[in-house]
Amino acid sequence: MIRFDVVDYKLTVTAETLMVPEFRKLVDADHSPQKSQALKDLVYVWGMYDEASTYASLSFDEKEKAVRRDAYGSTNYLIPRDRQKYLDEAIEVYTKYNETSERRLLNVMQKKMEQLTSFLDKMLVDTDEQFDKIVTTMTKLKLIVSAREEASAIVERGIQKGKTRTKGNMERSPREMGKIGYKAADK
């Protein structure tokens, strides 16, 4: 999995992230000393595609606007074409390494539900035939929402299992937590 770190309330690039060629290209494309544009791009990737991001519960369109606003300062910010290529590659590899097949299925279900919502919203009720079509669609909504909720619960259980990688919910050792050279007296 590819993860980002936050230090002093700022996103930082980890060595592990920079080992991934697509992320390295994205960072190297920013020639500024502080790599501020690359960091904004990484905030965008995290906000849009990380399950633990603050924006995860928003619909795709709402998420896109909120992440653009918070990462770039404007909901209408357009990423320059020369950087868009690197950003697309970074997004692809990020989702490849982080997204499970269950999560991809859940995302597809979410998009289809948004399309269905839009479809129902745009339908007019001028004739009995249109009314029947709307009622038929709405009666199927219970099944669709129920299936989505079940799938979501399954995915969330899988995510929680991934967070606790110890058997029997035991506490991880200092070595497992990356504290090499850690001594009990250092507590």
Whole-number mean pLDDT of the chain?
Answer: 81
- Distance between CA atoms of 123 and 97, rounded to whole angstroms? 40
Q: First CA to last CA across the chain, in angstroms? A: 29
In sequence order, which residues have a C-beta less than 8 Å from that of residue 48 and are 6 or more positions away?
A: 55, 63, 64, 67, 91
Q: pLDDT at position 112, please? A: 85
Residue 29 pLDDT exceeds 50: yes
Burial class (CB in 10 A: 0-12, 13-18, 19+), 109: middle
pLDDT band at 181 (very low <50, low <70, confident <90, very high): very low
Least confident of 53-67, 132-146, 169-183: 169-183
Residue 24 pLDDT exceeds 60: yes
Sequence spans of domains, the chain: 5-98, 101-165
9 token code pair: 């309330």
181 Cα distance to chain centroid: 34
Residue 164 pLDDT exceeds 50: no
Q: pLDDT at position 171, please? A: 52
User: DSSP assignment of 70-128, as one string?
Assistant: HHHS-TT----HHHHHHHHHHHHHHHHHH--HHHHHHHHHHHHHHHHHHHHHH----SH
* 55-77: average pLDDT: 91
Q: pLDDT at position 74, please? A: 94
pTM beyond 0.85:
no
